[in-house]
């Protein structure tokens, strides 16, 4: 295998910026893979009793392939089923289990809209408890809940004022059949609740996890001797056993809060591993390899600043000073520029590129999408004007590439702007001195490294709109310096944000019409889910037709989506830019970075399907001028659902930092909403919002270990080294993800 594969193998999991020194440590690690593969932990879960090929496939969707994976597929929460509650005793907001029988079941209308809920009335001798489902097949549920059948119903109790009764939404239900073999796994004790995927029942996961515990002793202790004692933590096998199978008397509230010793141990180990990887990376990178110094005189800096038609904000100036100080030294810059959407990162990026150009070196800007690359290209050429440095665009759809590539290699191109096309083979620079990577969370770490390698230790500036919370920044970017743009360019007013239920659609459409009547423009965005791109696209296209024919009839609409040829996409964006289109209907291609100040409305269809980070990014597309802007979140959801909570966050604040913190604390260990929006490493149990103190300790320990034993050759570090290698084994088999 080529060495790059190892590097990319690491990337998706730990998100480490790959660097030269690291590769050596990694190739050592990879030699250990074979050895690791021999334990039972590496065997596919089908090897366990009760797990067939179909189940195995479902487990795979959860990232669980081997027995070892399963042991680390940890419960999200716990339920106390050691005692059942009577319905009359149920308290609102509590998780509880009742033993009850079905009295009635059926679908019924919900509110005034067209949507329906499925409701089952459960009864015991003390009262009635209603269970409701919002997404359902009526036929399946009717068959599942025949009148008179007996059930164990668990979930969080709420109270519905209109129905005048206690309700559990989407409860966990199990047939109350004492003779069932799995019964003891599911009731009569503190029961773990695992993350699931469609089609995989809770019971099956419990059973499989329990079966896997037979091999728990094979899980190696990665903590060096004495460490568990120092922190008063149990050994890993005990911790896993008790976390999957809490023995009688274990403290439910500690388990729920993830503060039991057992959970702390697993959190510590996971963070230790990530921090050791990071420390190795740093140790490797520390070899002082000189980069090209790009000295900038104050006069040159002034000249660069005067390129812009506006005075830079204080924050922009500060960031530029920091960058200038970095690049004038010969240690390659490795800086993260963090600034909320609209804070003016692009200006800073261009100024940084000019520092290279003034020193006779080339610069490159890599953007995650073609639309963005094109936009950067246009803005930059406009700002630099005629007779300035030569700027070229590199995207995969560009036909006449040969000439541009040649010019790049000869050094005739000063600034190369492009997509990942920039890192393809055949792209050669004469003397790349500085690299800017925009919206880095879209790129894999490996890709970043690729671009950097095109230059001799080029200076690197990474830009992100993600306001990364401190704890997270420390883990993800432990080896980057950070500049923050914490000041918005003047004259912005906060975007008015509101949630619209399906029944309120007309009111939202009215806002679009009003704005268009005032000469403004609007975006309508559709979620495009990757797995079923085709279906979603069909939905977007149909919706577009509907908008054009009905909802927004009479306005000038255009559609753009990822499946369009890029020339067509460009054409649409251009028409929108020239004001020839009132409403741009788009899949999430406009998600990042598009800058068009005349757009004042962002309507987000199915806002309930978007994550907080995406919603924030989308909203950031409007409100870029002085005019009042609107964000219309069209959503079909219900109070108390995770989606509802996300939307509440959106309406309560526009501060990207607050949103990031909320997001981090809402998504916990299981990363429930799937997409890793912040580029979070795939932690299984650690939650950086919650476990900041453990992280700090793990970090200390990790850095001491690597300082004392940089190649991890000491016998007491062998398990740690093997654990790191194990991560690679997994990734090598799956191949590169990004």
User: Helix (H, G, I), strand (E, B), or coil: what is residue 719?
Assistant: helix
Which of Mg ion, ligand ADP, none is residue 528 near (CB under 5 to 8 Å by kind)? none
Which of ligand ADP, Mg ion, none is residue 624 near (CB under 5 to 8 Å by kind)? ligand ADP
What residues between 467 and 526 interact with ligand ADP by CB under 6 A? 489
Q: Which of 350, 585 has the CB closer to Mg ion?
A: 350
The rounded distance, in Å, linking the Cα atoms of 606 and 586 is 13
What residues between 642 and 681 interact with Mg ion by CB under 5 A? none
What residues between 582 and 601 interact with ligand ADP by CB under 6 A? 593, 595, 597
Paired with 496 in beta bridges are: 630
Among 94, 159, 184, 310, binds ligand ADP (CB under 6 A): 310
Q: Which of 71, 436 has the CB closer to Mg ion?
A: 436
Among 68, 75, 192, 344, binds ligand ADP (CB under 6 A): 344
Q: Which of 71, 589 has the CB closer to Mg ion?
A: 589
CB of 590 to ligand ADP, least distance (A): 13
CB of 316 to ligand ADP, least distance (A): 6
Among 8, 173, 313, 447, binds ligand ADP (CB under 6 A): 313
HSE value, Cβ hemisphere, 13 Å, CA-based, for 79: 27
Q: Under the criterion CB under 6 A, does residue 274 sit at the interface with ligand ADP?
A: no
Q: Which residues contact 376 (CB under 8 A, 6 or more apart)?
A: 346, 365, 367, 417, 438
Question: Phi and psi (nearest 5°) for 258?
Answer: 60, 40
Q: Under the criterion CB under 6 A, does residue 267 sit at the interface with ligand ADP?
A: no
The sign of the torsion formed by the CA atoms of 339, 343, 346, 349 equals negative
Q: Under the criterion CB under 5 A, does residue 455 sit at the interface with Mg ion?
A: no
Total of chain residues touching ligand ADP, rule CB under 6 A: 18
Q: Which of 19, 339 has the CB closer to ligand ADP?
A: 339
Which of Mg ion, ligand ADP, none is residue 623 near (CB under 5 to 8 Å by kind)? none
What residues between 570 and 609 interact with Mg ion by CB under 5 A? 593
Question: Phi and psi (nearest 5°) for 582?
Answer: -85, -45
CB of 227 to ligand ADP, least distance (A): 43
Among 19, 284, 291, 342, binds ligand ADP (CB under 6 A): 342
Q: Which of 192, 344 has the CB closer to ligand ADP?
A: 344
Query: Which residue has the CB atom at the shortest distance from ligand ADP?
Result: 344
Which of Mg ion, ligand ADP, none is residue 495 near (CB under 5 to 8 Å by kind)? none
Among 132, 186, 346, 447, binds ligand ADP (CB under 6 A): 346
Q: Which of 465, 612 has the CB closer to ligand ADP?
A: 465
The rounded distance, in Å, linking the Cα atoms of 562 and 78 is 42
Helices and strands (DSSP H and E) totals, the chain: 27, 21
Q: Which of 593, 656 has the CB closer to Mg ion?
A: 593
CB of 302 to ligand ADP, least distance (A): 15
Q: Under the criterion CB under 5 A, does residue 19 sit at the interface with Mg ion?
A: no
Q: Show the site string, 206-245: x = touches ligand ADP by CB under 6 A, - = not.
A: ----------------------------------------
The rounded distance, in Å, linking the Cα atoms of 188 and 191 is 8
Residue 505 CA: distances (Å) to CA of 648, 675, 717? 18, 28, 61
Can you tell me which residue has the tokens 């459409």?
509
Q: Which of 311, 360 has the CB closer to ligand ADP?
A: 311
Residue 283 CA: distances (Å) to CA of 154, 164, 326? 50, 63, 20
CA 362 to chain centre: 33
DSSP letters for 627-640: S--EEEEE----TT
Query: Which residue has the CB atom at the shortest distance from Mg ion?
Result: 593
DSSP letters for 83-142: SPBPGGG--TT-EEEEEEEEEEEEEEE-TTSS-EEEEEEEEETTEEEEEEESS--HHHHH
Q: Under the criterion CB under 6 A, does residue 339 sit at the interface with ligand ADP?
A: yes
Q: Under the criterion CB under 6 A, does residue 316 sit at the interface with ligand ADP?
A: yes
Can you tell me which residue has the tokens 């004007």?
385
Q: Under the criterion CB under 6 A, does residue 68 sit at the interface with ligand ADP?
A: no
The sign of the torsion formed by the CA atoms of 220, 50, 84, 135 equals positive
Question: Phi and psi (nearest 5°) for 499?
Answer: -95, 135
Which of ligand ADP, Mg ion, none is residue 310 near (CB under 5 to 8 Å by kind)? ligand ADP
DSSP letters for 582-617: SEEEEEGGGTTT---TTEEEEEETTGGGS-HHHHHH
Please give the helix or strand (H or E) that residue 371 lies within, else none: helix 370-384
Give the binding site for ligand ADP (CB under 6 A): 310, 312-313, 316, 339, 341-347, 465, 489, 593, 595, 597, 624
Give the binding site for Mg ion (CB under 5 A): 593
């Amino acid at each position: 295998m080529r060495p790059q594969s190892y590097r990319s193998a690491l990337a998706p999991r730990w998100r480490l910026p790959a660097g030269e020194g690291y590769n050596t440590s990694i190739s050592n690690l990879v030699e250990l893979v074979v050895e690791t593969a021999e334990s039972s932990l590496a065997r596919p879960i089908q090897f366990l009793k009760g797990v067939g090929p179909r189940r195995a496939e479902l487990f795979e969707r959860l990232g669980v392939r081997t027995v070892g994976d399963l042991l680390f597929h940890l419960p999200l929460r716990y339920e106390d089923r050691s005692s059942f509650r009577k319905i009359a005793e149920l308290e609102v907001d509590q998780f509880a289990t009742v033993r009850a029988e079905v009295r009635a079941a059926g679908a019924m209308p919900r509110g005034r809209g067209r949507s329906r809920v499925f409701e089952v009335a459960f009864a015991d001798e003390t009262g009635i408890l209603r269970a409701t489902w919002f997404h359902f097949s009526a036929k399946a549920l009717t068959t599942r809940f025949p009148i008179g059948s007996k059930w164990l119903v668990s979930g969080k109790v709420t109270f519905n004022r209109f129905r005048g009764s206690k309700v559990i939404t989407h409860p966990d239900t199990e047939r109350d059949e004492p003779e069932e073999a799995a019964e003891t796994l599911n009731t009569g004790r503190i029961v773990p609740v695992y993350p699931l995927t469609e089609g995989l029942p809770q019971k099956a996961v419990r059973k499989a996890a329990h079966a896997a515990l037979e091999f728990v002793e094979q899980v190696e202790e990665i903590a060096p001797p004495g460490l568990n004692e120092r922190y008063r933590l149990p050994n890993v096998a005990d911790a896993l056993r008790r976390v999957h199978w809490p023995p009688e008397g274990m403290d439910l509230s500690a388990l729920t809060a993830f503060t039991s010793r057992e959970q702390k141990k697993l959190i510590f180990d996971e963070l230790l591993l990530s921090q050791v990887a990071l420390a190795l990376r740093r140790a490797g990178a520390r070899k002082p390899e000189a980069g090209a110094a790009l000295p900038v005189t104050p006069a040159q800096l002034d000249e660069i600043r005067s390129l812009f038609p506006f005075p830079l904000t204080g924050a922009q100036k500060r960031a530029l000073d920091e960058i200038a100080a970095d690049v004038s030294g010969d240690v390659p810059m490795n800086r993260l520029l963090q600034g909320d959407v609209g804070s003016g990162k692009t200006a800073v990026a261009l100024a940084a590129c000019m520092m290279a150009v003034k020193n006779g070196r080339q610069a490159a800007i890599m953007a995650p999408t073609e639309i963005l690359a094109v936009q950067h290209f246009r803005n930059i050429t406009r700002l630099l004007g005629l007779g300035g440095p030569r700027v070229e665009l590199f995207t995969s759809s560009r036909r006449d590439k040969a000439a541009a590539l040649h010019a790049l290699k000869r050094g005739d191109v000063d600034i190369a702007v492009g997509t990942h096309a920039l890192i393809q083979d055949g792209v050669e620079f004469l003397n790349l001195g500085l690299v800017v990577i925009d919206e880095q969370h879209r790129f894999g770490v490996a890709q970043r490294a690729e671009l950097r390698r095109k230059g001799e230790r080029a200076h690197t500036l990474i830009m992100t709109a993600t306001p990364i919370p401190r704890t997270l920044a420390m883990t993800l970017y432990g080896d980057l310096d950070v500049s923050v743009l914490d000041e918005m360019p003047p004259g912005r007013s906060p975007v008015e944000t509101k949630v619209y239920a399906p029944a309120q659609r007309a009111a939202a459409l009215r806002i679009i019409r009003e704005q268009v009547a005032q000469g403004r423009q609007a975006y309508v965005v559709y979620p495009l889910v990757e797995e079923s791109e085709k279906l979603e696209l069909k939905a977007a296209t149909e919706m577009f037709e509907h908008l054009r024919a009905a909802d927004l009839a009479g306005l000038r609409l255009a559609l753009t989506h990822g499946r369009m040829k890029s020339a067509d996409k460009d054409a649409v964006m251009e028409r929108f830019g020239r004001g020839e289109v009132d409403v741009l209907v788009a899949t999430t291609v406009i998600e990042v970075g598009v800058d068009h100040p005349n757009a004042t409305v962002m309507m987000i269809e199915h806002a309930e399907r978007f994550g907080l980070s995406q919603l924030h990014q989308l909203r950031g597309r409007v409100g870029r001028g002085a005019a009042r802007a609107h964000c219309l979140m069209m959503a079909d959801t219900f109070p108390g659902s995770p989606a509802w909570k996300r939307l509440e966050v959106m309406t309560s604040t526009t501060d990207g930092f607050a949103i990031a913190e909320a997001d981090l604390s809402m998504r916990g260990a299981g990363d429930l909403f799937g997409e890793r929006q912040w580029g979070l490493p795939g932690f299984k149990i650690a939650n950086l919002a919650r476990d900041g103190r453990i992280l700090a300790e793990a970090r200390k320990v990790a850095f001491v270990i690597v300082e004392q034993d940089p190649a991890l050759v000491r016998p007491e570090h062998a398990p740690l080294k093997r654990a790191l290698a194990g991560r690679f084994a997994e990734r090598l088999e799956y191949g590169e993800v990004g």
